[in-house]
Amino acid sequence: MAILIDSVSKNLNPWLKAFKSYDDQVEVYCYDDAVALEKITTAVVWNHRPGLFKQLPNLKLIASLGAGVDHIMNDPDIPPQVSITRIIGDGLSGPMSNFCIGAILHHQRQFDKYLIDKSTKTWDQEPNPEREINVGIMGLGALGADLAEKLNYLGFNVFGLSQSRKKIAHVVSYLNAELDLFLSKINILVVMLPATESTRAILSKKLFDKLKKGTYLINVARGHHQVNGDIIDALENGQLSGAFLDVFPEEPLPKQSSLWDHPKIMITPHIAVVTKINEAVPQIIASHKRVRIGKLPEILVDRIKGY
């Protein structure tokens, strides 16, 4: 009944330390520790080594080290009886909402223009053209719902799109089937969708053509959603007025990518939110203990939906 933590991309030392200091009764190992793999009932992963799950005959729970589980769902070897859980909480939704609000205000208050004005020592007090800001959030899960509430509080008109209708005060909630209507209402699109088969390459010409001309795009979800060439075309033809991208199909974004040089694209290095170890560890240990006594984890990923 032990936990194995594995990642080929993250430094696991702070995680191991946090697990041990939170609950020294729980056995936690990393792959290179000489642990009998039959002991492992919970695998805690972020980009785990290929073939890992096949080596764990008593696996009951897979926990993501973050909010997303696409890195887990991409593995064809997840045993059918295994539950999957992920991290949620204020430590994720708070910084994520702040990041998106920053990106929205950056666009709304034309900070890019003032950077250019500064470089030419231009004092231009012409106010922003008054226009209504209608923010559309694709994906109203824990993160999207938090952003919707905060944007509404800040006075923005907020529209959301999700699989089931959501009740969030003053937020107009559309179903996925109402995508076209949702897209026609907004002039800022914030993408917070999980990476599933149905969202692959969704940010493409087909979708951009349904937006109001000059919509601003913010993607803080996954690069999996993006067709980079279509984003550039939509910026060139004015369908998009700008794009704030935190995620890319290939990360790190290759140096030769033309996204880097595009004046209407703001790039951040998949940094909108970083899991807080001290928030995640108690959640994972609680799930590990629930599964040990035959219960399901409180946050259970739907394996059919993929999130």
The residues binding ligand GLV (CB under 6 A) are: 66-68, 275
Task: State in angstroms the smallest separation of the CB of 88 from ligand GLV.
Answer: 10
Smallest Cα–Cα separation from 140: which of 131, 153, 156, 151? 151
Nearer of residues 68 and 242 to ligand GLV, judged by Cβ = 68
Of 67 and 147, which CB lies nearer to ligand GLV in the complex structure?
67
Q: Which is nearer to ligand GLV, 67 or 243 (CB)?
A: 67
Q: Find the Cα–Cα–Cα–Cα dihedral 83, 84, 89, 94, rounded to 10°.
A: -160
In the set 48, 86, 107, 222, the catalytic residue is 222
Evaluate whether 160 touches 148 at the Cβ level (below 8 Å).
yes
Collapsing DSSP to helix, strand or coil, 257 comes out as: coil
Least CB distance to ligand GLV at residue 273 (A): 6
Start-to-end Cα distance in the chain: 26
The residue number with the shortest CB distance to ligand GLV is 66
| DSSP-derived 3-state class of residue 287 | helix
The active-site residue, picked from 71, 106, 270, 290, is 270
Distance between CA atoms of 282 and 194, rounded to whole angstroms?
24
Helices (H), 120-227: 142-153, 179-185, 205-208
Residue closer to ligand GLV, measured from CB, 66 or 102 = 66
For 101-139, letters b (16+ CB in 10 Å) and e give bebbebbbebeeeeeeeeeeeeeeeeeeeeeebbbbbbb
Q: Least CB distance from residue 275 to ligand GLV, whole Å?
A: 5
Q: Which lies closer to ligand GLV via its Cβ, residue 137 or residue 235?
A: 137
| Cα–Cα distance measured from residue 286 to residue 297, given in angstroms and rounded to the nearest whole number | 8
Clarify whether 270 is annotated catalytic: yes
- Shortest Å distance, C-beta 10 to ligand GLV: 11
What is the Cα–Cα distance from 131 to 299, expressed in whole angstroms? 40
* Measured distance CA(7)–CA(16) in Å, rounded: 12
Neighbours of 14 (CB within 10 A): 12
CB of 250 to ligand GLV, least distance (A): 15
Task: Write down the least CB distance from residue 168 to ligand GLV, Å.
Answer: 22
Helix (H, G, I), strand (E, B) or coil at 177: helix
Q: Among residues 215 and 275, whose Cβ is nearest to ligand GLV?
A: 275
**Which residues have a catalytic role annotated?**
222, 270
